[in-house]
Amino acid sequence: MWRTLQNRSLWVGTTRQYSRIRPPPPAGAQPVIRVSNNIAQLGGPKEGPKPRQLLSLPPFPGLPLPGKNSLTVPGRPPHVTAISWVKYYFDEVHDSAVQSHFNKGLVQTKCSSFGDTSSEKKEKTKPMRKIQPNEVMEKGTRVYIPVSVAESRISRRFDTIPSGTLYPNADEIAYLQRLVHYKDSAILVLNKPPRLPVKGHLPVHNSMDALAAAALSYDYDEGPKLVHRLDRESSGLLLMGRTKEGISHLEWLFSDAKVKSSCKAWNEACEATYQRYWALVIGSPKEKEGLICASLSKVLLNDGKTERVILAHQSGFEASQEAITEYRVLGPMINGCSWLELRPLTSRKHQLRVHCAEALGTPIVGDYKYGWFVHRRWKQMPRVDIEPTTGKPYKLRRPEGLDVQKGSVLSKVPLLHLHCRELVLPNIAKFLRVLDRKSEKQDPALSSKPDLLRFVASMPSHMKISWNLMSSYLV
């Protein structure tokens, strides 16, 4: 019986008569008899698991975490467990999704110490192990988790405000209020959608500052004011001040010249302030982590009207501003693109876009102003890919009910893939009385509030589609 089956498989291989129902077994693989519904069939061996794209979390910084109280147990020092660290990093993901990844054993770890390059090289060769959810995190420990933990349901919302009037109607007011991520007596945090201008001028009426002043005043006499800006094409967390005192302190916080206050808690909170962006770039940096120190300068194009930001030359004859950016590669390169995490240490116009395009040589997808030369040569994501394990064509699984032509990597003209994902800043409302010298003590009603506030915003729809499309065949 077995020889007959072997001879039959050889005969099929020589004449190359493929079945319409089942593909032929891989070359060099022994045929396997499978029984299904009392019917024996001859086929290839069972395919192994597909490789997973692992998302690398930053090294555990140790305690205290910004905006989070550590778990305290009587008789033991404060600590943070592995599941608490993952939930802290993915604040916008449901706890059940994080718990499910731990239950399936998909969360892994690989420890390394800060500043020891030799140990880091040794750790790269070591295999990763599964980490338990209740395992205590140590400083410098890295956690690796599949990118599926960051996938979330794509909300069907407008990318821009329906109309462009200076005085918003009821629908526009309701839309703007849905964008509000956080609100207290001093600040207002919004999750800005792409293609919505932040600062208006004569030809632009539906800008964020003009509409927010009319729609987001709530019970205040005046509307909120912008503290820092995002590009029109970018998305993410946008900070606004609600009072004159709060606006002045926030502007001081994002300025270069800072003078320490007499309040020690305020100074420590200011030092812990940071922003993190997620960006999809064409290519991948040579180093997985690094610090970009490249000054920027502004020039006018030949038309005399268009302004452009470029890397400053070392001649010293032109005005320039210092610009520093930390970057980190989140995962492997897929279809010629890779995800980066960017942390600007200075606030310059188009800083992240210029640093990615000119300093790293990996422009952001959809950035035609600073990466047009790479977009001309870029081969966009194909609709059919090859499985790395078997070499067979594999069709990418697309989210059902979504139009992939709306700005994702499959679109002919993708939108800018730059998103302000995380923001950590001091609790202005808590320190306001001390900073204004109205009282040496904080507001008793706010004394129990944390010194730091941390916000995480989900990606816009076109970036979520690109994320799902690029990671669907690896996860």
Render pLDDT for 145-195 as a digit per residue (tens, 0 to 9): 887 776 554 444 334 444 444 566 777 778 888 889 999 888 999 999 888
How far is residue 114's CA from residue 100's CA, in Å, rounded to a whole number?
30
Tell me the CA distances in angstroms from 415 to 7, 46, 332, 408, one per residue in order: 56, 40, 22, 7
| CATH code of 136's domain | 3.10.290
Same domain (yes/no): 297, 237: no
- pLDDT, position 399: 43
Residues 21-37 have a mean pLDDT of: 56
- pLDDT, position 417: 94
Number of domains in the chain: 3
Residue 30 has pLDDT above 80, yes or no: no
Residue 223 has which token pair?
A: 């509307």
Same domain (yes/no): 465, 321: yes
Same domain (yes/no): 412, 332: yes
- pLDDT, position 277: 96
Same domain (yes/no): 438, 383: no
Its domain, for residue 315, covers 274-397+406-418+461-470
Residues 280-292 have a mean pLDDT of: 92
Residues 212-226 have a mean pLDDT of: 82
Does residue 13 form part of some domain? no
Residue 15 has pLDDT above 50, yes or no: no
Same domain (yes/no): 146, 289: no
DSSP 336-374: TEEEEEEEESS--TTHHHHIIIIISS-PBTT-TTT-HHH
Out of 278-287, 390-399, 430-439, least confident range: 390-399
Render pLDDT for 331-371 as a digit per residue (tens, 0 to 9): 888 878 899 999 999 888 899 999 999 999 999 999 988 88
Same domain (yes/no): 365, 378: yes
Q: Which residue's entry shows tokens 């040579």?
A: 286
- Active centre residues (catalytic): 231
How far is residue 355's CA from residue 364's CA, in Å, rounded to a whole number?
10
Same domain (yes/no): 292, 411: yes
How far is residue 135's CA from residue 384's CA, in Å, rounded to a whole number?
41
Q: Which residue's entry shows tokens 């995962």?
A: 331
Same domain (yes/no): 148, 55: yes
How far is residue 234's CA from residue 183's CA, in Å, rounded to a whole number?
22
- Compare 25 and 315 and report the one with higher pLDDT: 315
Out of 52-56, 166-170, 297-301, 434-438, least confident range: 166-170
Render pLDDT for 293-308 as a digit per residue (tens, 0 to 9): 988 988 877 666 678 8
Render pLDDT for 442-464 as a digit per residue (tens, 0 to 9): 666 667 788 899 999 999 988 98
Same domain (yes/no): 321, 465: yes
- Percent of all residues in the chain with a pLDDT value above 70, rounded to a whole number: 65
Same domain (yes/no): 265, 288: no
Same domain (yes/no): 283, 390: yes
Same domain (yes/no): 266, 281: no
Does residue 10 form part of some domain? no
